[in-house]
Structure 1
Amino acid sequence: MLVAGSENGVHAVTGIDGDGPVTVRRVLDAGPVMRLRTLDGFEGVFAATETGLYHSSDADEWTNLDVPREKVYAVAAGAGGRLYAGTRPAHLYVARASDESEFTRGLEWRELRGIQELPSRDEWRLPRHENLAQVRDVHVHPASPGRVVVGVEVGGVHVSDDEGETWTERRDGVDDDVHELRLVGPDEFVAATGFGLFRTADAGRSWTRLDEGYDQRYFRSVVAVDGVIYAGAALAHTATWDDEDADPELFACRDGETLERVEHPRPDETVTGMSDVDGALVAATHRGTVMLRRPDGWVVAGSLPVSGRLAGSYTPLLSFDG
């Protein structure tokens, strides 16, 4: 089963990896969905949305985990049952849970104030975002459970090596407008930003820009599938995506240094969400098209409802065996 997010909640997509009909059913009415995650140490799936952070063991029944701020944009898990939530405005919270039964009883969230003390904190804003920033992504790699990595829109990448208590800025060399951040390894991160696709192999101490030579510099999504990094981009921001000259592209990076174009069935649609189904890439576009890349080529597997305020600018996807 594929779990997909849109601006009107979470949807269960069944039949995408088979030969039968594909069905799309809304399972959570939560407003815009920013992230869908399965997390080490916890069963089920988490949905970070503009109306809260939700958890479900079966992608059918959902519990609001009552993060102190309503707009939750990112979620991750660390060692010892730690659950992290990143919000808009840009704050980071942590709670502990020994198992999922504590979710219904209520979690005790604590703000990790160290992130507010970073030297660049007062710069985290964008006029068209109401002069606010949001923690767009949070990650903990299982090989380095004490390290927490956040990507901030607009504010860059920052790293903690003590479970989120103190922080170091790793924003030099990477664009501050972070849309999606992926941890390929404990020290290898890839950032899809509003002005380029960036990779680091030393936990953000230095960054390499991967999209040099291409006109598409507005990257919205990134994922690693079977050792290959895929990223979706367009020439400019979301308001231009339906223009005749939007010219979106899907890219692949196989060597950690260079990009190549990936042809797919909807070349005029911007890829805004990606995941894998049994090792195969699945991608969703700003118009709601869901595509699956099989060994013998692409298939258009279905569509999601994406009309409205966000116009499909985020369509997170997650393969889930619930």
Structure 2
Amino acid sequence: MGLLIGTRDGVFRAATVPLEDPDQVLDSGDTLRVRSFPDADGVFAATKSGLYRSRDEGRTWENLAVPQEEVYSVVASPDGERLYAGTHPAHLYVSTDDGATWDELEGFQDLPSRDEWHTPRHRNEAHVRSLDVHPAAPDRVIAGVEVGGVHVSDDRGESWTERRDGVHDDVHHVFVLGPDSYIASTGDGLYRTEDVGQSWSRLDTDLDHRYFREAFELDGRLYAAAARSSPGTWSGENGADAILVESTDTGETFDERSYPGGPAEVVLAWTAVDGEVVAGTNDGRLIRHEADGTWADAGHVPASIRSLTANLG
């Protein structure tokens, strides 16, 4: 199984891990998410120049013409009949005809906190940075907004309920562990809910790093990484001054691990390839979790890694 790598310069394709001569297959600029879904045809790239799909394992791509150009997130319903796209500014769109046309889910704009979703560093606007659906709750859509919190719909995106109390509103990613259980990675902490976001518990209280981008889980082990502070601080002598942590009790406790590139480089993306976790850093480095529990260098691409997905034959 190979790998698609979303970077600040587009998408790269690699047939093997460790990487051997990865090819750039999409010149899309900043690519926030590359994802595939069990019942949706193809692989998708959510980028600042549009939402793209490839039906040939990442070799060629088509732009699906979402009404807003900057697409930050994408998810397909478990039956493959609905495709959702989250954008900047923070709007949410759905396609029921395989990406041919799009309708705005206007209920998303009716959330009580909508007027608060903005920050100067994002042009005084916000974006839908994370979208997901769990197959055990197929009508439930989970959206994470940077900056705006977590919100949940139980009717396939038509109406929404805020789930932002108790979680920091600078949401980078919501990892769905189960239909009711999520891990939210934010600009100020790592949070978990077991009740669809009605309450949140903070997982990073024993850590001294607060800036999280994404978490990942495989075979009962939770992986996360954090920088000391936000990206504007990563260019100094110590770089990101980052940590990589693992937990076998869903975040109740964490063990810190050393890794290639650390602590100057911070892990921003995760996936699994052939049963092993791989991760990508802000310096374009790929690392792989080895059978003995250590992390090994697995190659480089020439741009910061933003997202990873393994789906190639």
TM-score range, shorter chain: over 0.9
How far did residue 43 of structure 1 move? 2.5
Match of 2:307 in 1: 316
Q: What SS does structure 2 have at the residue aligned with 1:166?
A: coil
Distance 2:283 2:186 in 1: 20
Alignment of 1:1-322 (within 5 A): 1-16=2-17, 22-57=20-55, 58-78=57-77, 79=79, 81-97=81-97, 102-103=98-99, 107-245=100-238, 246-256=240-250, 257-267=252-262, 268-296=264-292, 297-306=294-303, 312=304, 315-322=306-313
Per-residue CA distance 1:18-60 (angstroms, 9 max, x = gap): xxx6221100111100001111321321000001001112210
Between the two proteins, what is the percent identity of the paired residues?
A: 49
Q: Equivalents in 2 of 1:238, 1:13: separation in Å?
A: 27
Q: 2 CA distance for matches of 1:182 and 1:83?
A: 18
Read off the aligned partner of 1:258 and give its amino acid letter.
T
Shift of 1:80: 5.6
What is the SS of the residue equivalent to 1:61? coil
**Maintained 8 Å contact 2:180/2:194:** yes
In structure 1, what is the Cα distance between the partners aligned to 2:38 and 2:103?
A: 20
Deviation string, structure 1 residues 92-135 (Cα, Å, up to 9, x no partner): 000113xxxx55xxx12110011100000000001121110000
User: TM-score when scaled to structure 2?
Assistant: 0.94
Where structure 1 has 5 or more consecutive residues not aligned to the other structure, the ranges are 307-311
Q: Deviations over 1:236-281 (max 9, x none)?
A: 1112123234420011222122222122122121001111112211
CA contact (8 A) 1:146 1:163 kept: yes
Tell me if the contact between 2:15 and 2:312 (Cα under 8 Å) persists in the aligned partners.
no
The answer to whether the 8 Å contact 1:199/1:208 transfers is yes
Give the unaligned 5+ runs of structure 2: none
Query: Is the contact between residue 216 and residue 271 of structure 2 (CA under 8 Å) also seen in structure 1?
Result: yes
* Distance (Å, rounded) in 1 between the aligned partners of 2:80 and 2:13: 30
CA contact (8 A) 1:226 1:279 kept: no
Partners in 1 of 2:310 and 2:182 — Cα distance? 21
Inter-partner Cα distance in structure 2 for 1:168 and 1:221: 23
Paired positions, count: 306
For 2:24 and 2:121, how far apart are their aligned partners in 1? 31
Contact 1:80 1:96 (8 Å CA) reproduced:
no
Per the TM alignment, residue 230 of structure 1 is displaced from its structure 2 partner at its CA by: 1.1
Output the aligned Cα RMSD. Answer: 1.4
Rounded to whole Å, the distance in 2 between the matches of 1:9 and 1:194 is 24
Is the CA contact (8 Å cut-off) linking 2:175 and 2:214 kept in structure 1?
no
3-state SS in 2 of match to 1:146: strand
Distance 2:126 2:243 in 1: 27
TM-score normalized with structure 1 length: 0.92
Residue 309 of structure 1 aligns with which residue?
Answer: none
Question: Which secondary structure state, in structure 2, belongs to the residue aligned with residue 316 of structure 1?
Answer: strand
